[in-house]
């Protein structure tokens, strides 16, 4: 998919810059030509020699280099690429981009380019969540800048939270997804979708956890179907034994709280489809394996309600997706419970399905869905999960297109 593509990689100053070396190698393995701009800060973490060796191209650093400008002016450098990729994108560089500054080669090239730009942010979690950074991110996205990540996890500074640069395979997927959409734009081209899938695991101790029987097959199929229609899809998945859908950015989580954090980090989105079977409760996990007692008494577990991801995404706010779709997996009074759930959660649509053991829905390949909206209910026939996903994706595309075409 990347054969013959020309990518301008800008490496800015952050510890995540070490990942850029592997990124160069992986891009070139897929046939891409990679030119690199290394900022002054980036050169504190990776050397020009290592970048040049892996890219097999000259590394550009100095805006005022007479030799570089004579051989490859910064305007030409920024426009000969098919995609400008910034990895890592620091808070400082994002702020300069939002303000339209051009005080070094990297920012000048970004301001001068007429090509799409994809950022892979990386910074301390408090820097990422700061109102200034989030405002800059909103500004950049409103101008059509694409992003991948950041992820939540352990950071180099010793803290934990969102701000970790997306892993190299995730960035590669985002790059491939961009070119796939550009080659064959569908009705959801330019739209961003968030999909949750699979179960969550809530730890009881280092060995045991609370979970459910969800396989993730329906959620993964929905992510693939939305991608096939041109959407830029982020799939937040609990533990599943499934391959990642092609062209989809996948974020793997364990618990409900991790899933909510990943969903928030993936916003804004045009549509959110909450297909994951999120555990309703969790317990305070023990630090060591809970052992049997001599008396044989069962341990006492105190439950706490997990965050409600569907209700959170459905709540009114500046980043609420235009369309929020939930699932209601029920074993009795399926339609009544689903309609009540839609009203309670505040989502736009809800898909009801019977997951009683006799149906074989959990873990199976077929599903019988009922779509409930403000306009009423549709009974869908029993379909392969891939076909059900394609049907839902078509409905989503129609709804978003109709909303965009509606008079103000």
Number of H helices, E strands in the chain: 14, 22
Strand order in the sheet with 192-197: 249-252, 232-237, 192-197, 271-274, 323-330, 349-354, 369-373, 376-379
Q: CA-to-CA distance for 258 and 376, rounded, in angstroms? A: 34
* Residue 345 is assigned to a ligand binding site: yes
CB atoms closer than 10 angstroms to residue 100? 9
Contact of 128 with 162, CB cutoff 8 Å? yes
* Residue 341 is assigned to a ligand binding site: yes
* Residue 335 is assigned to a ligand binding site: no
Total residue length of the chain: 408
In our burial notation (b when 16+ CB lie closer than 10 A, e otherwise), range 51-70 reads beebbebebbbebeeeebbe
Contact of 245 with 222, CB cutoff 8 Å? no
* Residue 19 is assigned to a ligand binding site: no
* Residue 289 is assigned to a ligand binding site: yes
Q: CA-to-CA distance for 149 and 98, rounded, in angstroms? A: 18
Q: CA-to-CA distance for 193 and 354, rounded, in angstroms? A: 26
Q: Residue 250 forms beta bridges with which residues?
A: 235
- Put residue 198 in one of left, alpha, beta given phi > 0 → left and psi -120 to 50 → alpha: left
Q: CA-to-CA distance for 90 and 70, rounded, in angstroms? A: 29
* Residue 307 is assigned to a ligand binding site: yes
* Residue 92 is assigned to a ligand binding site: no
Q: CA-to-CA distance for 157 and 160, rounded, in angstroms? A: 9
Catalytic residue positions? 157
Q: CA-to-CA distance for 393 and 221, rounded, in angstroms? A: 10
Contact of 379 with 367, CB cutoff 8 Å? no
Q: What is the DSSP letter of 46?
A: S
Q: CA-to-CA distance for 359 and 348, rounded, in angstroms? A: 26
Query: According to DSSP H, which parts of 318-405 are helical?
Result: 334-345, 385-405
Residues at the binding site are 280, 289, 307-310, 327, 341, 345
Binding residues for CTP: 280, 289, 307-310, 327, 341, 345
């Amino acid at each position: 998919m990347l054969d013959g593509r020309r990518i301008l990689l800008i490496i800015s100053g952050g510890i995540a810059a070490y990942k850029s070396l592997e990124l160069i190698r992986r891009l070139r393995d897929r046939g891409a030509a990679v030119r690199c701009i290394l900022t002054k800060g980036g050169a504190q973490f990776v050397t020009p020699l290592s970048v040049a060796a892996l890219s097999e191209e000259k590394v550009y650093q100095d805006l005022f280099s007479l030799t570089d400008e004579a051989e490859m002016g910064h305007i030409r450098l920024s426009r000969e690429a098919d995609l400008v990729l910034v990895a890592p994108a620091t808070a400082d560089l994002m702020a300069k981009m939002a303000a339209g500054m051009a005080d070094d080669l990297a920012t000048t090239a970004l301001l001068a380019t007429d090509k799409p730009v994809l950022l892979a942010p990386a910074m301390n979690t408090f820097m990422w969540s700061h109102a200034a950074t989030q405002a800059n991110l909103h500004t950049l996205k409103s101008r059509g800048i694409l992003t991948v990540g950041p992820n939540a996890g352990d950071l180099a500074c010793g803290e934990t939270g969102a701000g970790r640069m997306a892993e190299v395979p995730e960035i590669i997927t985002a790059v491939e997804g961009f070119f796939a959409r550009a080659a064959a734009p569908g009705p959801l081209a330019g739209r961003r979708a968030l999909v949750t899938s699979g179960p969550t695991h809530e730890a009881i101790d280092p060995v045991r956890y609370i979970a459910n029987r969800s396989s993730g097959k329906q959620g993964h199929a929905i992510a693939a179907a939305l991608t096939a229609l041109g959407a830029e899809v982020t799939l937040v998945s609990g533990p599943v034994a499934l391959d990642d859908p092609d062209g989809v950015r996948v974020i793997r989580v364990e618990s409900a709280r991790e899933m909510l954090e990943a969903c928030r980090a993936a916003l804004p989105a045009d549509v959110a489809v909450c297909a994951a079977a999120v555990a309703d409760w969790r317990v305070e996990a023990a630090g060591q394996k809970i052992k049997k007692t001599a008396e044989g008494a069962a341990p006492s577990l105190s439950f706490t309600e997990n965050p409600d991801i569907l209700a959170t995404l459905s709540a009114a706010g500046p980043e609420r997706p235009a369309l929020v779709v939930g699932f209601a997996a029920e074993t009795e009074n399926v339609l009544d419970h689903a309609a009540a759930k839609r009203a309670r959660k505040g989502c736009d649509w809800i898909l009801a399905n019977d997951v009683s053991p006799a149906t074989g829905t959990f873990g199976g390949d077929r599903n019988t869905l009922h779509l409930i909206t403000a306009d009423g209910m549709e009974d869908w026939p029993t379909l392969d999960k891939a076909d059900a996903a394609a049907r839902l994706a078509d409905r989503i595309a129609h709804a978003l297109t109709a909303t965009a075409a509606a008079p103000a």
